[in-house]
A = this chain, B = another copy of it.
Amino acid sequence: HSCSCSRITPTPLGEGKSTLVGLVQALTAHKRCNSIACLRQPSQGPTFGIKGGAAGGGYSQVIPMEDFNLHLTGDIHAVTAANNLLAAQLDARIFHEATQTDQALYERLVPAVKGSRKFAPIQLRRLKRLGIEKTDPYALTPDEIRRFARLNIDPHNVVWTRVLDVNDRYLRKITIGLSPTEKNLTRDTSFAISVSSEIMAILALATGLEDMKQRLAKMVVAFDKTGAPVTADDLGVTGSMMVLLKDAIEPTLMQTLEGTPVLVHAGPFANIAHGCSSIVADDIGMKLAGKRGYVVTEAGFGSDIGMEKFFNIKCRASGKVPNAVVLVTTVRALKMHGGGPIVTAGAPLRREYMSENLDLLEKGVPNLLKHIENGLKYGVPVVVAINAHGTDTAAEHELVRKAAKAAGAFEALVSNHWAKGGEGAAELAQAVIDACNRPSEFKLLYEVDMSIEDKIIRIAKEMYGAGTIELNSKVRDAIRLYTEKGFGKLPICMAKTSMSLTGDPSVKGAPKDFKLVINDICLSAGAGFIVPMCGEISKMPGLPTRPSIFDIDLNTETGEIEGLF
């Protein structure tokens, strides 16, 4: 069986990952089922920012948390290396094309080795795409030589960016090529955080080595001066990226505090990519757990973001469907959605969150109900897990339970995994087992045959509750171009704040009929989706005045890490 784990709209108060960990602990140790958790690897950037670790908490954690939150086995570094090799080759190619004649370029691209010229296999693939069915480098006409050797990249239409796994705000927008050696071929570009790289999304979506290779090859990195897409394969980088990623495609086996296996793999950004753990890890997990076992896989953030993309992108790619959805909520987070005061890191928590307040809670419940409604639209049972805090009251828990059940949740229960580990999530585990035994009536939200715009509208109305969708003219032009170039039938990967059902992170609760503005759009042809942007989505976080950097240290006597939470 498999089960995906999402949550309500996140707040600074929420904990999602610990529930997933607690659940597999309960399934394994208390329900005697083979079970495996599949988690994303967290970015190292936020570890040194304000976020702290992402290994869960209390008695429901992945260990060792230091490795989990740092390099681990280097997969993110491999993604960074592959991404930036492609970027370096892209700019180097623009430079070499700008400074050489067609013939000189061709003779260098297909060099005489011991007197004889030969195309590399990746060059033969490019010839094929150009419709040139020749394999002898001496047989090309001057026109064919020009078409083969000149990618003719439009420097103003390069869409590939460099990445680093660090919160470095000064790299959000940069000018490159300012050294005299680059002969004034400067260009504006940016660095994003590594986990936002399309390569990370591919790592999570690839079903195997060959599929990964096909996807990497297809990545559109720029458009040429005629508007035609230029791919990673055109730049000759597919094989080198594969070599850099050959170990990254293997998930890393870790464990929970109670010894339940955890497969950690890939970590696509949930707000701009699809935010799920990998297909490869889920496949391995399902094989290892067996038919009667359970795999619980992460579908990051709320149902509007994590779950929607989990179904419409990941399940569509893998062909596999979960038996149940777990939806995590907390009383505190619902109070915040009900209008509770803003929470500031470091400041003492306000009274509203520390004592019973049924009015505020009731006002916040609609956010939970919208997420339940969203889950049910896929025909899969939704189990609501109320992640308990010490200051919650029984009446508060009961209010949430009743509302969830009335809205169609298969079950809604309090889970005490933070305080008690697997034992605290035993009832939740039983509910998940029961839900997984129910026959599924799974359906996707949209067919890929629909137009790009219709797919966006479907998601925005059905999942977010939007009334109208506004696309600016730049977005409309891009949609026209993508459709014309054959990318119209890709699924949609919305880039929207995870902090609200709307495009505005400050709007809590479950608003209805709001306007959603799509102000930018981009293409991830290799990952296989179109990314509409709702509002400003930063792909590069920054460091605050006092990042957690100040607290982190290595004890040189013991070799132990200190101050990393």
Contact = CB atoms under 8 A, between A and B. Distances in A.
B168 A549 contact: no
A543 B187 CA distance: 18
Interface in A139-193: 162, 164-179, 181-182, 187-188, 190
A546 B170 contact: no
B553 A239 contact: yes
B549 A240 contact: yes
Contacts of A188: 178
A89 interface: yes
Given A346-B111, A559-B246, A239 B554 contact: yes
A561 B564 CA distance: 37
B111 A546 contact: yes
A542 B92 contact: yes
B172 A175 contact: no
Nearest to A113: B346
Interface string A76-113: 01101100110111011001100010000100111111
A250 to B, nearest CB: 10
Nearest to A108: B545
A546 B118 CA distance: 13
Given A209-B559, A210-B556, A242-B554, A172 B182 contact: yes
Given A48-B85, A168-B88, A108 B544 contact: yes
A302 to B, nearest CB: 25
Interface in A334-380: 346-348
Interface stretch (A120-128, A283-291, A325-333): A120-128
B348 A115 contact: yes
A449 interface: no
A546 B176 contact: no
A84 B239 CA distance: 28
A208 to B, nearest CB: 8
A552 B85 contact: no
Contacts of A306: none
Chain A residues touching B, majority SS: mixed
A552 B73 CA distance: 23
Given A210-B556, A348-B115, A550 B173 contact: no
B88 A167 contact: yes
A170 to B, nearest CB: 4
A247 interface: yes
A408 to B, nearest CB: 41
A399 interface: no
A193 B329 CA distance: 46
Nearest to A238: B553
Contacts of A246: 554, 559, 561
Interface in A511-565: 538, 542-547, 549-554, 556, 559, 561-564
B236 A550 contact: yes
A213 interface: yes
Nearest to A149: B545
A243 interface: yes
A243 B70 contact: yes
Contacts of A547: 89, 92, 236
A91 to B, nearest CB: 4
Contacts of A95: 169-170
A244 interface: yes
Interface in A234-292: 236-240, 242-244, 246-247
A167 B167 CA distance: 23
Contacts of A561: 243, 246
Contacts of A240: 48, 549, 552-553
A485 interface: no
A179 B173 contact: yes
Contacts of A549: 85, 89, 236-237, 239-240
Contacts of A80: 77
A44 interface: yes
A515 B346 CA distance: 62
Contacts of A552: 239-240, 243
Nearest to A538: B181
21 contacts: A77-B77, A77-B80, A84-B168, A88-B170, A88-B543, A89-B547, A92-B169, A92-B543, A108-B544, A110-B546, A112-B346, A170-B187, A174-B176, A175-B175, A175-B178, A181-B538, A239-B554, A239-B563, A242-B556, A243-B553, A243-B564
Given A70-B243, A91-B168, A109-B545, 10 more contacts: A73-B74, A74-B74, A77-B77, A88-B170, A92-B547, A95-B170, A173-B178, A236-B547, A236-B549, A239-B554
